[in-house]
């Protein structure tokens, strides 16, 4: 069994459980003892906060204690730090791209400059002082280092643009609004950034930047686009590529998150086998690309779930109600 350490496990019960089903021994780490995913892992660990000097040493202790072979960060928060800490976490493989890739994709204005420089479409974007007179409104005032659709404002004219630039409390840039349909592509790359699969989905509904309803689609152009973006960026492991399909046929990229996407269960159900691929990389294997091998028409619709714990003063234990047995007779049973 390969032991896998999940950092910032948070609410990602879906990912931790999927790795368990794929045969991994799962270790969940979080600073908050109420992080639900901790209780769905085989082993749970409370660790210091990311900005604490003891954070990486605590993870390194867990790697030794559980003979961890793979470290998977589940949020944007510690990606760059873990990318810089691969030596401390050896011999476990840390499933993140190089630190420069995390830094570039973590700043949407730098990411835009990278896309343009590498021949990938990206909506026209400027620093606040450089917005030209011919910029097409509406324009978006977007935070440079943000997530969860926070700090994004739509300005309909130059007056509103000036207002939002004054109003926003965070370092921002200005981007043209895309006009077409938005898509999200869940990709997975090997250690040489060779793309192994790319699974596009529609964004039927999103809330707070999280896709809550979507559908997998066999769209050759989007599959190839996702793979090309991932390989050009230098992704290692999972990433989520977001783009629009514009009326002129271009596919401008707006966001690349080098981690499992919020909609992880959708590509999983469509046959991604991303947990198995991650475990294969941890064992030093070199799985062959299976680009486009997934099922179209998988529709995901998400809902809130919960976990009840018993607090006995020192520990929290999952609450398990003694169920009367049998619950009820099945039809046809006595
Ligand atoms: N240039 C754009 N044109 C139209 N919509 C956009 C654009 N940029 C972002 N959005 C919308 O805002 C959402 C969040 O923006 P994104 O750049 O993905 O930041 P975050 O890191 O918060 O996910 C997107 O999913 C999309 O719906
Ligand atoms: Mg996004």
End-to-end CA distance of the chain, in Å? 41
Q: Which tops the pLDDT comparison, 299 or 326? A: 299
Q: Which of 139, 157, 176 corresponds to the end of one domain?
A: 176
Do the domain assignments include residue 100?
no
- Is residue 128 a contact partner of residue 165, using CB atoms and an 8 Å limit? yes
Q: Whose CA is nearest to atom 27 of ligand 1?
A: 182
Query: Which of the ligands is closest to the CA of residue 148?
Result: 1
Q: Report the CATH number that the domain containing residue 229 is assigned in CATH.
A: 3.30.470.20
Ranking 69-73, 244-248, 310-314 by mean pLDDT, the lowest is 310-314
For residue 323, the model assigns a pLDDT of: 58
Mean pLDDT of 275-301: 98
One domain for residues 28 and 77: yes
Mean pLDDT of 249-264: 97
Q: How confident is the model at residue 322 (pLDDT cuts 50, 70, 90)?
A: low
One domain for residues 291 and 189: yes
Structural domain of 73: 3-95
Distance of CA 242 from the midpoint of ligand 2 (Å): 6
For residue 59, the model assigns a pLDDT of: 98
Directed axis angle between helix 13-21 and helix 274-282, to 10°?
Answer: 70
For residue 134, the model assigns a pLDDT of: 95
- Cα separation, 152 vs 141, whole angstroms: 6
Q: Which of 176, 195, 220 corresponds to the end of one domain?
A: 176
Q: How confident is the model at residue 321 (pLDDT cuts 50, 70, 90)?
A: low
One domain for residues 192 and 168: no
Do the domain assignments include residue 202?
yes
For residue 39, the model assigns a pLDDT of: 97
One domain for residues 168 and 67: no
Distance of CA 275 from the midpoint of ligand 1 (Å): 27
Mutate to test the pocket of ligand 1, among 143, 148, 152 (most ligand atoms within 8 A of CB): 152
Q: Whose CA is nearest to atom 8 of ligand 1?
A: 254
Q: Report the CATH number that the domain containing residue 170 is assigned in CATH.
A: 3.30.1490
Q: Which tops the pLDDT comparison, 16 or 332? A: 16
Q: How confident is the model at residue 286 (pLDDT cuts 50, 70, 90)?
A: very high
Secondary structure string (H, E, C) spanning 132-145: CCCCCCCEEEEECC
| Dihedral over alpha carbons 272, 274, 280, 282 (to 10 degrees) | 170
Query: Which of the ligands is closest to the CA of residue 211?
Result: 1
One domain for residues 187 and 280: yes
Residue 227's contacts (CB-CB under 8 Å, 6 or more residues apart) are 187, 195, 198, 291
CA 334 and chain centroid, separation: 49
For residue 331, the model assigns a pLDDT of: 59
Distance of CA 150 from the midpoint of ligand 2 (Å): 10
For residue 244, the model assigns a pLDDT of: 98
Query: Which of the ligands is closest to the CA of residue 182?
Result: 1
Please state the domain count of the chain: 3
Q: Whose CA is nearest to atom 2 of ligand 1?
A: 177
Distance of CA 213 from the midpoint of ligand 1 (Å): 16
Q: How far is CA 311 from CA 42, 128, 200, in A?
A: 20, 51, 43
For CA atoms 276, 281, 282, 283, the dihedral sign is positive
Mean pLDDT of 170-176: 98
Q: Which residues line ligand 1 (CB under 6 A)?
A: 108, 123, 140, 146-149, 152, 175, 177-178, 182, 209, 242, 254-255
Measured from the CA of 177, which atom of ligand 1 is nearest? 3
For residue 214, the model assigns a pLDDT of: 97
One domain for residues 292 and 183: yes
Distance of CA 204 from the midpoint of ligand 2 (Å): 15
Do the domain assignments include residue 101?
no
- Cα separation, 126 vs 140, whole angstroms: 11
For residue 207, the model assigns a pLDDT of: 84
- Cα separation, 140 vs 154, whole angstroms: 5
Do the domain assignments include residue 312?
no
For residue 157, the model assigns a pLDDT of: 97
Residue 322's contacts (CB-CB under 8 Å, 6 or more residues apart) are none
Beta bridge partners of 45: 29
Residue 63 phi/psi, 5-degree rounding, is -60, -45
The answer, as to whether pTM is greater than 0.85, is: yes
Q: How confident is the model at residue 330 (pLDDT cuts 50, 70, 90)?
A: low
Give residue 203's region: left, alpha or beta (phi > 0; psi -120 to 50).
beta
Which of 142, 241, 262 minimizes the C-alpha distance to 195?
A: 241
Residue 19's contacts (CB-CB under 8 Å, 6 or more residues apart) are 4, 6, 26, 72, 275, 278, 279
Mutate to test the pocket of ligand 1, among 124, 135, 145, 149 (most ligand atoms within 8 A of CB): 149
For 177-211, write each residue's pLDDT tens digit. Answer: 999 999 999 999 999 999 999 999 999 998 877 78
Q: Which tops the pLDDT comparison, 245 or 332? A: 245
Q: Which residues place a Cβ less than 5 A from the ion ligand 2?
A: 255
For residue 327, the model assigns a pLDDT of: 55
Do the domain assignments include residue 83?
yes
Q: Whose CA is nearest to atom 9 of ligand 1?
A: 254
Distance of CA 57 from the midpoint of ligand 1 (Å): 35
Q: How confident is the model at residue 320 (pLDDT cuts 50, 70, 90)?
A: confident
For 267-278, write each residue's pLDDT tens digit. Answer: 999 999 999 999
Distance of CA 227 from the midpoint of ligand 1 (Å): 20
Q: Report the CATH number that the domain containing residue 46 is assigned in CATH.
A: 3.40.50.20
pLDDT at position 145 over 90: yes
């Amino acid at each position: 069994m390969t032991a896998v350490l999940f950092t910032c496990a948070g609410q990602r019960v879906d990912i931790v459980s999927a790795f368990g089903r794929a045969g991994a021994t799962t270790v969940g780490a979080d600073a908050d003892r109420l992080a639900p995913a901790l209780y769905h892992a085989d082993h749970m660990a409370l660790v210091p906060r990311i900005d604490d000097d003891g954070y990486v040493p605590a993870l390194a202790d867990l790697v030794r204690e559980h003979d961890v072979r793979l470290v998977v960060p589940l949020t944007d928060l510690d990606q760059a730090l873990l990318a810089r800490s691969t030596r401390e976490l050896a011999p476990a493989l840390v499933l993140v791209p190089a630190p420069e890739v995390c830094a570039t994709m973590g700043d949407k204005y730098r990411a835009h400059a990278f896309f343009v420089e590498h021949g990938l479409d990206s909506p026209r974007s400027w620093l606040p002082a450089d917005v030209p007179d011919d910029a097409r409104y509406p324009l978006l005032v977007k935070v440079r280092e943000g997530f969860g659709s926070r700090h994004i404002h739509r300005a309909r004219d130059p007056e509103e643009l000036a207002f939002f630039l004054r109003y926003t409390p965070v370092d921002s840039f200005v981007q043209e609004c895309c006009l077409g349909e938005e898509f999200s592509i869940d990709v997975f790359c090997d250690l040489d950034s060779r793309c192994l699969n790319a699974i596009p989905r529609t964004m039927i509904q999103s809330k707070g930047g999280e896709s809550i309803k979507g559908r997998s689609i066999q769209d050759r152009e989007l599959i190839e686009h996702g793979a090309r973006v991932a390989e050009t960026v230098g992704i290692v492991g999972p990433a989520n590529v977001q783009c629009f399909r514009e009326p002129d046929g271009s596919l401008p990229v707006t966001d690349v998150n080098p981690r499992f996407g919020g909609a992880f269960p959708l590509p999983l159900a469509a046959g991604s086998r991303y947990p198995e691929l991650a475990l294969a990389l941890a064992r030093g294997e070199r799985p062959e690309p299976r680009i486009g091998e997934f099922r179209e028409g998988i529709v995901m619709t998400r809902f809130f779930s919960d976990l009840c714990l018993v607090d006995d003063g020192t520990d929290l234990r999952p609450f398990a109600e003694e169920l009367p047995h049998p619950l009820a007779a099945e039809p046809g049973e006595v």
